Amino acid sequence: MTSTGSDAGAGAAPDRTGDGDFTRALTRDSLLRLARREIAAIHVPGFCDRRIAEDVARKAVRHKALGNYHKKYTSTVGRVHMPHIDTAWNPELTARYHDAALPSIHEVRALFAPYLSPVDHVRLLLQECWPAGADLLRLRGRPCFVGALRVFHPTTSVFPPHNDRIEQETDAPEIAGVTEQLVANIYLQVPEEGGDLQLWRRDPTSAEARTILEVEGLDPATVEPPAHVIHPRAGDLIVFSSRMLHAVTPARGGHRVGMAAFIACKGPDEPLQYWS
């Protein structure tokens, strides 16, 4: 099944359902439904102005802080500022991540000035829409970075089928009780072909989870076709469960640039917590 999106509005606009697995606005109802896995994703076309998005994408591609993820498959994927996954259970890297968290947030925000950063927009909506609000994740009392810019280079960058869980990155006491982990992706630039988001409606099996930990992703030939394939447009927001299998196909004909924020859910009576 494919979601193509439209030119619908974002944020507080009335919640509209395209097919039964998607909603088109980030609202209290859509967040609760997504956290309960009643829908596959929240897909908000035009969440960020396309001209602003593409301007920041150009800045990201040549940013002085652009580096690569440390893992096997994503070592060809660029990221601006250090995400938590690259702490790799290393105390020195963990300290470096937390030391840089707030300055990195401010630097990403400045890329969008004088306009509102789309990640800050998502943060505001989470705070307003979730029953118990939302906060920046702090691990062992130290603030996390949020707002990672990711650069998929043409033809070389791919995320194979995998999932993401904060429990695989830290044993900090603040993550106790997490029942679901979402990810919010804002697309700043998309290639002519490829760069598609593939979604499966299931967690990996125990054997698949071990493979993901060992080599970071699954061979696509070993899993069934995804339930949904989405080719986003510049400016779109897509929120889905990162604990379920998902993948990104290789970009062709240009860079795929986006912003990402993870969102930990402990139930509607606890605040959401977000980080990158």
Per the domain annotation, does 174 fall within a domain? yes
73 or 29, which is more confident?
A: 29
Number of domains making up the chain: 1
Q: What percent of the chain has pLDDT over 90?
A: 74
Q: Select the highest-mean-pLDDT range: 1-5, 117-121, 256-260.
A: 117-121
Report if residue 10 sits inside a domain: no
Task: Specify if 241 maps to a domain.
Answer: yes
pLDDT confidence of 16, banded at 50, 70, 90?
Answer: very low
CB 53 within 8 A of CB 35: no
> Does residue 5 form part of some domain?
no
Q: Are 249 and 167 in contact (CB under 8 A)?
A: no
pLDDT band for 20, please (50, 70, 90 cuts): confident
Closest Cα to residue 71, out of 80, 59, 62, 83? 83
Q: Is residue 14 part of a domain?
A: no
Residue-wise pLDDT tens digits, 87-100: 989 999 999 999 99
pTM: 0.89
Identify whether the C-beta of residue 71 lies closer than 8 Å to the C-beta of residue 97. Answer: no
The mean predicted confidence, pLDDT, of the chain is 89
Per-residue pLDDT of 198-247, as tens digits, reads 999 999 999 999 999 888 799 999 999 999 999 999 999 999 999 999 99
Spatial distance between the Cα atoms of 229 and 171, rounded to a whole number of angstroms: 33
Residue 52 placed within a domain: yes
| Both structure tokens of 21 | 């697995």
With cut-offs at 50, 70 and 90, classify the pLDDT of residue 195: confident
Q: Is residue 73 part of a domain?
A: yes
**Could you report the per-residue pLDDT of 108-125, keeping only the tens digit for each?**
999 999 999 999 999 999
Domain limits at 144?
Answer: 28-275
Predicted local confidence at residue 156, as pLDDT? 60
Q: What is the pLDDT of residues 125-155, one digit of tens each?
A: 999 999 999 999 999 999 999 999 988 878 6
Terminal alpha carbon distance of the chain:
29
Quick one: pLDDT at residue 6? 35
Instruction: For residue 243, give the CATH number of its domain.
Output: 2.60.120.620
Secondary structure in 3-state letters for the chain: CEECCCCCCCCCCCCCECCCCEECCCCHHHHHHHHCCCCCEEEECCCCCHHHHHHHHHHHHCCCCEEECCCCHHHHEEEECCCHHHHCCCHHHHHHHHHHHHHHHHHHHHHHCCCCCHHHHHHHHHHHHCCCCEEECEECCEECCCCEEEEECCCCCCEEEECCCHHHCCCCHHHCCCCEEEEEEEEEECCCEECCEEECCCCCCHHHHHHHHHHCCCCHHHCCCCCEEECCCCCCEEEEECCCCEEECCEECCCEEEEEEEEEECCCCCCEEEEC
Query: Which pLDDT band holds residue 62 (cuts at 50, 70, 90)?
Result: confident
CA 29, distance to chain mean position in Å, is: 20
Residue 167 pLDDT > 90: yes
Contact by Cβ (8 Å): 178, 234: no
Residue 22 lies in a domain: no
